[in-house]
Amino acid sequence: MKISGVDVRELKKEYGTPLYIYDAAMLKNNMRLYINNFKSNQFETEVLFASKAFNVKEMVRIVDQEGLSLDCVSVGEFYTALNVGYDPKKVYFHGNNKSPDELRFIIMNNVGTIVVDNLMELVALDMITKELKKNVNIIIRLNVGVSAHTHKFIVTAHVDSKFGVAYKSDDYNTMLEVINKSEYINFLGFHSHIGSQIFDLKAFDAALEKLITYCKDFDKPLVLNIGGGFGVHYTDEDQPIPFDVVSKNLIETCENALAKSNVKIKKLCIEPGRSIVGEAGYTLYTIGFTKKTPNKEYYFIDGGMTDNIRPALYQAKYDCDIIDKENDKKDHTVTIAGKCCESGDLIIEDYKLPEANPGDLLITYTTGAYGYSMSSNYNKALTPAVVFVEDGKSKLVVRRMTLDELIEREE
Ligand code: LLP
């Protein structure tokens, strides 16, 4: 099997397994689908990459080259961006519990916009901007109460969500008072993120229409950020909407809602993460032992929940193949299990595959989002390497962790 012209067997030889492989051409293409189609002649538009899905230096460089802005949710993500010379003015900084030190750090490093989650944060921010005598742009994260049909663990905008404030709630009203009195806080608009892996565009339309009605309370045209969450294909149960269609649909919804309510906005932003990196990512493993129990057959791989926690955490489903046996008869119903001392460390359950031998390579698809970024060193597993492939060439972007690196911070 080749990815962007590179044989995965060669990648195994050069970099070992487990290995995260990204098709850089597909990454760029996904970004361009958003950038080229998320455009309006009535308001400005901005596409942000939600870097929590996959934040490494090379990824930020590509985001920069392709002209996307960046959603960072931690100082770690922000620092990675600063480190590769990414313009901090293009960063939207999220988080429901930003510490005073974190706020100081991002302000002193000229963060573009802070997405304020709650009243206490705004009060803290007001004090810090006075202390630093620095202006900051903010947008307020609103909980618009739209709940999209997705796995309950990853819905973030239901009424009791830990994220955002509700429109016209006491906290919301007080926040506007704080903003009015503040010397250094420049209120730009609103943010909403209704969930993840969403296929029903109507959910975004409903959230966007709500945000637009809230704009009526303000004299100046606001910035609206409708978040991310556009679904991708993991298995054939998922039927994603092409990203150009998603983009055009959101623009159209926005333009129609603006016309209907006679409101003007300054800018509309989206911040997709998964849909930019998800399908561009693969994980390559080596199969070790296999085992039959009375009711199951296991293929053991050299990675597992440490490089992909999503099956254990969300019961997420994936497709996979054994390299060079893609077209063999799939006459074994197997469970792909990782190496961890944890019975839930199963990557794929009851899946049809051909007979495997130790040393065969197994590839899982659509692991580009929240795989590497949620990886762990449980059982002291070494974080795998990450390689980007494009036009028949590979480039190592994260070296595999070494045993010494694993313990280097320990006294
Ligand atoms: N914007 C905000 C404010 C978000 O909270 C998120 C994701 C995104 C954008 C990007 O959403 P995306 O386009 O990637 O769906 N770890 C979970 C996903 C958690 C999503 C958290 N927020 C998973 O592996 O499915």
The CATH number of whichever domain residue 346 belongs to comes to: 2.40.37.10
Domain-ending residue, one of 234, 251, 275: 275
41-63 pLDDT, tens digit each? 999 999 999 999 999 999 999 99
For the chain, the domain total comes to 2
Task: Note whether 271 and 283 are same-domain residues.
Answer: no
350-363 pLDDT, tens digit each? 999 999 999 999 99
Task: Note whether 205 and 351 are same-domain residues.
Answer: no
Q: Is the pLDDT of residue 150 over 70?
A: no
Q: What is the C-alpha separation between 278 and 22, in angstroms, rounded?
A: 9
For ligand 1, the distance from its centroid to the CA atom of residue 193, given in whole angstroms, is: 8
Q: What is the C-alpha separation between 24 and 53, in angstroms, rounded?
A: 15
Residue 174 resides in a domain: yes
Helix (H, G, I), strand (E, B) or coil at 139: strand
Residue 56 resides in a domain: yes
Task: Note whether 268 and 350 are same-domain residues.
Answer: no
Q: Kindly report the CATH number assigned to the domain that includes residue 241.
A: 3.20.20.10
Percent of the chain predicted with pLDDT > 90: 93
Given pLDDT bands bounded at 50, 70 and 90, which one contains residue 152? very low
Residue 16 resides in a domain: no
Q: Which atom of ligand 1 is nearest to the CA of 198?
A: 15
69-107 pLDDT, tens digit each? 999 999 999 999 999 999 999 999 999 999 999 999 999
Which domain covers residue 343, as residue numbers? 2-6+279-407
How many CB atoms sit inside 10 A of residue 148's CB? 24
Domain-ending residue, one of 275, 308, 329: 275
In 3D space, the residue among 201, 208, 223 whose CA is nearest the CA of residue 260 turns out to be 208
For ligand 1, the distance from its centroid to the CA atom of residue 381, given in whole angstroms, is: 25
pTM summary value? 0.96
326-343 pLDDT, tens digit each? 999 999 999 999 999 999
User: Average pLDDT in the 392-398 region?
Assistant: 98
Mutate to test the pocket of ligand 1, among 47, 196, 226 (most ligand atoms within 8 A of CB): 196
Q: What is the C-alpha separation between 280 and 232, in angstroms, rounded?
A: 11
- Would you state the pLDDT for residue 156? 53
Q: Is the pLDDT of residue 151 over 90?
A: no
User: Average pLDDT in the 204-210 region?
Assistant: 93
